[in-house]
Structures are given as structure tokens and as C-alpha cells.
A and B are shown apart, each in its own frame.
Chain A
Amino acid sequence: MVNGSKMKKKFLALVLSLTMTALSLTGCGAPEQSGNGAENVDGAGEREEKEGGEQAGSAGTALYFGACNPWDTLDPFAPNIMQQMYLNSCYQYLAVYDTFGGELQGALLKEWEQTDAYTYKMELYDYIKDVDGNPFTAKDVVFCFETAIASNNFPKLNYVEAITADDDYHVTLVLNTKAVGAFAEVIQTVNMVTQKAYEESSDNMATTPVGTTQYRVVSCTTGSQLKLEKVEDYWQKDEALIPDMYKANADEIVYDVVTEESQIQVALENGEVAMTWQTPSSIANEFAEREGFSVFQVPNTLCHALMFNCTEGSVFGNNQKLRQAVATAIDNQALIDVAVAGNGTVAKAFGAPNYGGYDTAWDQEEYYDFDLEAAKQLRADAGYEEGELTIRLMTSSSAAQKACGEIIQSNLGAIGIAVEISSYDTATYSSYKDASSGEYDICLIDPTCSGQIISAWSSYLDANLCSSGASMYGVYDADFQKLVEETNTEEGYTKENIDAIHTYLKENCYIYGTYSDYKYCVHQDGISSVYVAYVNGNGHVVPGASTF
């Protein structure tokens, strides 16, 4: 009887296992591919029929864009770190960069000139109207700046000393800094709307944006779907005067939020979306091989690095050899393999090769290349025996940083240094990042860059930006601080100064660059080119500006 019961249980367990396996395998079957990789989904309910790749092509069609970050509000003056892509479809800046770290191109500005070190005179087109037909004038520019400054949401606006309307179409902007790229950063921070439309909006345009772009929002389900259609009578008639970022090649854009990674893949395969951005490199690799899809790759505006806690009392404070030992022990290619599926470049500096000011000569230099024997020797020279030292490594909760943390743990284990990894969510990680917190010995960082390398460096090197009064890594060096401040000015931003900072960082090894990588846009073959806009360090695809 007992044996019979056991047999039944075993049989049941076997059937259960087989059923679960069968379920998994049924799901894993290769999907049927249509010619353009875009099969429509039946039962789409109230949502409009989608036509996959063909939808994005000719006139009178819609582009379904799979966005991995939801938005919470489309208020032009809310903090816009996560929702920049959506906001840029609804609102315009006065002018925008044409490429990453490139030249400014007027959007609402007809022209501008710098009259002294701090003052900029700007002239608006005199025929600008928002999508509701309200005229846009200099008073609206002042209103937008004042509202954005009052919100306290934009640190870059701290550069603004004054802004005044000289007449209906002329504005004077006075800055209080000569920092490199300050003017560009300031004007690419404030979304422009007419005061009348903003004040008439019942929800501060959180769901009903009225901007000056070529698109009008027709429906908005916060955090799920945003639908925009091209306006008939756009104020700027001369196509040549419209910056690429604000071109409108699709008649309708539908942002469809897909946050889960495997769902992005399914949505692309099903043709539910025609294009995605920030696609994980593993998925991008897979689609690169598929018929009907293409992968567009752009260098990331983030560079990846490792920062040592060099405060007094830390094992790395006043121990250059130990910092060098750690840098030499890290296999950067292995970091690239685990973090970004092999699609990256080993760093030769604290910064990425696509940054303005990056000197390609650095690529030929020795930069703590992976060498375990040399690392062991440096560790011994630093005064530590094998197995004597345990250090704390802090990472954010991102999958890439966690994976890198494990590789570093393994690499340092090979030279006799034990590593304890602590991974924190974004808020805690940000709070602990300043070395004065004492929460780590080494920390993985991903600085962003708004175009010029000094913008990636400044928040880590400039002691004026850190609460402790020292640099982010915990050292105050008056001469170096002077050099950083001097370099972060239009006249001081010279090759010599940039090189001096690079050399200082390299020799002292306070911060060690590990690798740079790419961002991916996977799209159907019907889309012939993808436009990526770079606004204050964040690159994002502009679906309407892509060509079909």
C-alpha cells in the first residue's frame, strides 16, 4: 500500500515535470516570420490595427515605438530625466545640438550672439505658434525660464543670472559662469510653451501637452501609451530651418511602454512595435541575425569607471600602488563580455572616445592593462600580503554593474584581495557615492557626458560640487582643483589642460576607466535610418525624425 502511494506520487511528479517542460517548449517555438518581421496581432480590442513595418513607411502611416521607460508626467517643467524622449516629441528647446558634442542649431531661435563673456542676445522667429495656434513670443521664453527656475528641478539653471524680453522677439540671457557648454546646456534644459496654453491647462500639461513641435498629443494613458499625430499647419514652413531632431517623417507616433526585457523581444517579433531603443545588447545581438530587422548602434554617452575611496583612513588613501594593483588586476574585456555581451571597447582613459576633447593619442598609451603578475607585485609593493586585505565594492542595482562587480571580485581574488560586494538601489547608491560617506573602498560609476569630456569629469573631480569640500573620491589637491576650474571655461578648455587632467588621473589612479559601450535601436527593415538626439548627456531616438 505504501509502495503504491509512493509510486503514485512519483508518477504525478513525473507528469507534472513533463507538463511544465512541454509548456515551456511550446512557448519557445520559433515564431512565424512575415516578410518584414511584422505580423499583426488579432484581437487587438479597442486599439487600432497595426501594420508592422509597413506602418512606418509611406505617408499616412503610424510608427509604433517600444519604449522601455514609462513616463509619469508630460509637464514641461517637471524633472525630466526619465521622460525626455516623450517631452522632446511634444515641446521644443530654443536650439539643439545637431550631433553629440556638435554645433547648436536654432529651433525657435532665428539667431543668437554672445556679446560678452556672460551675455547672449537671442532673436526668435516672429511667426512661431504652438499646436493650438497661440503665438509664441519673447515673453513666453521668459515665462518658461522663470517657471523652470522656480521649480528648483534643474541644476543647470543655476547658471542663469538673468533673462529679459527686450521686445516681442528678442531675449537677453545673462549667465553667471564661463563653464564649457553652459549656454547650450541651459537652453537645452527648458522646454518651451506659451504662457497662455500652460496656464489654461488644468493639469500643468501632465497629460495634455501643447508645444511647438510638429506633433499634437491625441491620447495619453500615463505610463502605458502616448499617441501623437502630425499637425496640418506647422508654423515653420521652411524645411531647411527645422533641426533634424524636430523633423516629422511619420504621420503618427505611438509610444508603447514595454518595460520587461523579454516582452520587448516578443513585441518586436509580433510587429506590435516597429522600433525600440535602449534594447539590451543580448537582444540586439539576436535581432542583428534576423531577417526583416536591423540594429542601429550608437556610442553610449556614459563611460564606465571605477572610483577609489581615497579619504584619510581608507586603505586606498595615500596608497597609489594599491590602487594601481587593483586597476592592473581587472580584466576589462571580461567586464565587457558579461555586462554588454561583448559589445564594447576597453577604456584607455576616464572617458569615452566619442566625447569632445578626448585625445585619440591616449589610445596608444599603456593604461593599467590586465596583468595578474604585475598586479600581484604592485599589491606586494603596496605593503599587503596575499589574503591580508578585504575591500568593499559598491555597485548600483543595475544588472551590468552587478555583473562587473562579480568579475572584479574574481579578478582581485586572483591577486589575493578579497572583495565584499554591496549593491544598492539608485537612491541609496547616490547618497553613498561621495567617498566621504565611508560606505565603500571601491565604487563602480557611470558618469554621463553632455558632449565635452569635462562635463563627465567635473562632477567627480570638482571639489566645489561635493558636499565634503574634497573631490568625489575624497582628495583635495589645490593645484589640481585650480586646473579643473581653469579647464572648465571656454578659454581654458585646451588640449594641454585636458591632457594634464588625464595624466594626473592616470598617474594617481584615483578613478580608473574600465570600458565604453553602445546603445542599440532594433527596428524593422522598413525604417532606413534612425535619428538619435543628444540632450544634456542623454541620447535618445527621435522616432519622428527617423526616415522610412
Chain B
Amino acid sequence: MGKYVIKRLFMMIPVVFFVCILVFTIMYFTPGDPAAIILGSNATEVQLEELRQTMGLNDPYIVQLGRYLYQIFLKFDFGDSYITGTSVTNELMARLPRTLLLDLIAIAISVGVGIPLGITAAVNQNKMGDYISMFIALLCVSMPAFWFALVLVLIFSNTLHLLPSHGMGGLAYWILPIAACSFQGVAAQARQARSSMLEVIHSDYVVMAKAKGVKKRDIIYKHALPNALIPMITIAGSDFGRMLGGTLVIETVFSIPGVGYYMVNAVNNRDYPVVQGGVIVLAVCFSLIMLFTDLIMAYVDPRIHSQFAEGRKRRIKLNG
């Protein structure tokens, strides 16, 4: 397993490398001049040219790309923001924990609420429990995050005066953003859990367990659920990855200075170092999440775990 983790970590290097090249190339060919944005409309062409020269924007594509890759891979430095001159690495490190915290708690809620909802629906198929669970899931999936966030603010902040409407601070400030961020995950998890559980519940070994008089609770939690978990873990992993880049809306509504908001401003200002740094950090995070997801799957499902072990044995055998 350890070798597998190391192998996957090494596999991230080419992924990040190609992400760097792709993002750099897209930004390079996107119209818009950072120098013009910094200096404003009153700048003369001479001033613009001077600033472009200082920033290295006049160099050929390949030179700029080479310089950028050198900075990233050999100096581990994302450079400084064109617009503010601040270190992109420092700024991202200050903002990433906020985005990660928001996403981590949101995904935990999605899993913690969504899976029990889905199990309830599957176990009580075509009964009231199923209808109520799926109604909640349908409700969650039908509401756009932006709209739901504002509804939460209007209810809990503006009308009931229970929670602050925006900003950063204590626990109370996180409740509405997390709720708004997690509800679509709840729906996805509930629907996935229901369909996976239904598939497993109708399999022969579950029928056999029922026939042998095993308790219903044990059948569900000890026999059916572990086998139905794989697709749920996959959904949770990809949801987490999606949330990392997609919390922009929530960050904007609740004025949370996270990575998403930082990057969108940077795209609008053609602040190349910030956009590139942000995308790379998110790509690394996403790769790590996917690795972590695979490890959880191996832990949960002995079949996957044994595949890793078999792979190792096969290699030993071939070499032997």
C-alpha cells in the first residue's frame, strides 16, 4: 500500500506539469494586457511598454513558459501578483485553509446526512420513508446554491436575527455558508446511497442472510452497506474536488476571502501568477483527494485491497 501511495504521488508530477503548461498557455493567448490594467487608461504607450518589459511580458511564449516552470518546479515559487505585488504563495496559503475548511465540513455533512437519507429510502422502498427522504433530496438538488444561500440569509439573518449574514469570525459565521455549500452534496449522496443500497439489498447473499434470520439492522449495516459504499465514496471524492473550485458563489455571497474569489478577481485582472498558482494548488489538492478516496475505497472494500496486494505478488512472481 505504501508503494502504491508513493507511486500515485509521483504520478501527480506530470499531472501538475501539464496543468501548468495548459493554464499558462490559455492565459497567454487570452486577450487583455495586465500592464494596461495596472496603469489605467491614462498611461501612455511608452509607459505601458516599459511596464511590459519590466514584467517580462514582451518575451516570447517559450521563454515566459520556461521561466514560469523553472520558478514553480525548481524554486517552488508562484511569483508575485501583477496587480498588488504580494506573494501569490503567501496569499494562497492564507486563503486555502478557509476554502478547505468550508469544503471539508460541507462534505462531512453531505456524507453524514445524505447516506442515512439514502439508506432510509432504500430500506423503505416505495413507503413513506422513501418518499420523505427522496423529497428532501429532490428539494436539495432543485435549488441553485446562490438562491439557497440568499434564502438562508433572509430567514436566519434578516428575519430571525439568529446568525450573521456575512463575514469572517467565530463559529456563527460559518453556519450559513456551510449549510449552503453542503445541501447539493446531501442530495447527490442520498440519491447515490439509495440506488447502491437497492442494488445490494436485492442480491442473493442479502436474501440468504434474511432467510437465515439475521437481524435486519445487521443485514443493512454489516452486510449491505459495506458493499454499497464504493460508489458513495467515489461521489464524495469527486464532490469534494468540485467544491474546491466551485465555492466561489458561496464565498462571494458570504464575503469569505477564499481561493475561488481570489482566482476569479485574478482572471478578470489578467493577474497571471495568481491564476496559475491557484489552478496548480487546486490541481494538487484534487489529486490528493482522489488518492485519499482510492485509499478509503481500498480500506472499505477488501477486494480492492487485495488487488493492490495481488499486483505486488504478481510482480514478485514475474521477477522471480
Contact = CB atoms under 8 A, between A and B. Distances in A.
Contact of A432 (B31, B40, B173): B31
A388 interface: no
Given A44-B172, A151-B85, A27 B158 contact: yes
A514 B148 CA distance: 38
A23 B183 CA distance: 15
A222 B138 contact: no
Interface in A354-384: none
Contact of B138 (A16, A24, A26, A257): A16
Interface in B146-182: 150-155, 157-159, 161-173
A77 B241 CA distance: 37
Interface string A398-429: 00000000000000000000000000011110
Interface stretch (B12-20, B43-51, B218-226): B43-51
A46 B170 contact: yes
Interface in A164-210: 203-204, 206
Contact of A430 (B36, B51, B155): B36
A221 B135 contact: no
B256 A224 contact: yes
Nearest to B36: A430
B42 interface: yes
Contacts of B255: 70, 224, 256-260, 263
Contacts of B153: 27, 262-263, 266
B301 interface: no
Interface string B131-145: 100010011001100
A224 B168 contact: yes
B111 to A, nearest CB: 24
A45 B167 CA distance: 11
A42 B161 contact: yes
Contacts of B36: 427, 430-431
A43 B33 CA distance: 45
Q: How large is the interface on A (under 10, 10 to 19, 20 to 34, 35 or more residues)?
A: 35 or more
Interface stretch (A311-319, A340-348, A459-467): A459-467
Nearest to B172: A43
Interface residues of B, number: 69
Contacts of A257: 167, 255, 257
B32 interface: yes
A267 B261 CA distance: 20
Contact of B44 (A15, A46, A154, A464): A464
B154 A27 contact: yes
A272 B257 contact: no
Nearest to B54: A152
B38 interface: yes
B225 to A, nearest CB: 27
A535 B201 CA distance: 71
B238 interface: no
A73 B265 CA distance: 14
A98 interface: no
Contacts of A26: 151, 154-155, 159
A28 interface: yes
B86 to A, nearest CB: 5
A79 interface: yes
B11 interface: no
Given A263-B153, A272-B164, A426-B37, A223 B169 contact: no
A42 B41 CA distance: 46
A31 B156 CA distance: 11
B57 interface: no
A45 B169 contact: yes
B155 A75 contact: no
Nearest to A68: B255
A31 B158 contact: yes
B32 A427 contact: yes
A426 to B, nearest CB: 6
A480 B270 CA distance: 35
B31 A266 contact: no
B281 interface: no
B32 A431 contact: yes
A266 B157 contact: yes
Nearest to B249: A260
Given A24-B151, A75-B85, A222-B257, A263 B166 contact: yes
B172 A45 contact: yes
A60 interface: no
Given A43-B162, A225-B167, A73 B84 contact: yes
B172 A79 contact: no
B252 interface: yes
A221 B86 CA distance: 15
A356 to B, nearest CB: 17
A19 interface: yes
Interface in A257-283: 257-260, 262-263, 266-267, 269-270, 272
B83 A427 contact: no
Contacts of B170: 44-47
A502 interface: no
Contacts of A432: 31
B184 interface: no
Contacts of A224: 167-168, 255-257
Given A47-B167, A47-B170, A224-B257, A204 B162 contact: no
Contact of B42 (A222, A263, A459): A459
Nearest to A28: B154
Interface in A85-129: none
B151 A70 contact: no
A486 B138 CA distance: 69
A156 interface: yes
Nearest to A157: B47
A413 B165 CA distance: 44
A478 interface: no
A352 B40 CA distance: 21
Nearest to B32: A427
Interface of A: 8, 12, 15-16, 19-20, 23-24, 26-29, 31-32, 39-47, 70, 72-73, 75, 77-79, 81, 151-156, 158, 203-204, 206, 221-225, 256-260, 262-263, 266-267, 269-270, 272, 425-428, 430-433, 447-448, 458-459, 464-467
21 contacts: A16-B135, A16-B138, A28-B154, A44-B164, A45-B169, A47-B167, A72-B81, A73-B85, A79-B84, A151-B85, A155-B40, A155-B47, A223-B257, A224-B256, A257-B255, A266-B157, A272-B167, A448-B41, A465-B43, A465-B45, A466-B45
Interface of B: 30-34, 36-45, 47-48, 50-51, 54, 81, 83-86, 90-91, 94, 131, 135, 138-139, 142-143, 150-155, 157-159, 161-173, 252-257, 261-262, 265, 267-270
Which 5 A-B pairs have CB atoms at the shortest separation, nearest pair first? A45-B170, A27-B154, A427-B32, A223-B257, A43-B172
Given A153-B39, A259-B255, 10 more contacts: A27-B154, A27-B155, A45-B170, A72-B83, A151-B85, A155-B43, A222-B257, A257-B257, A258-B167, A267-B165
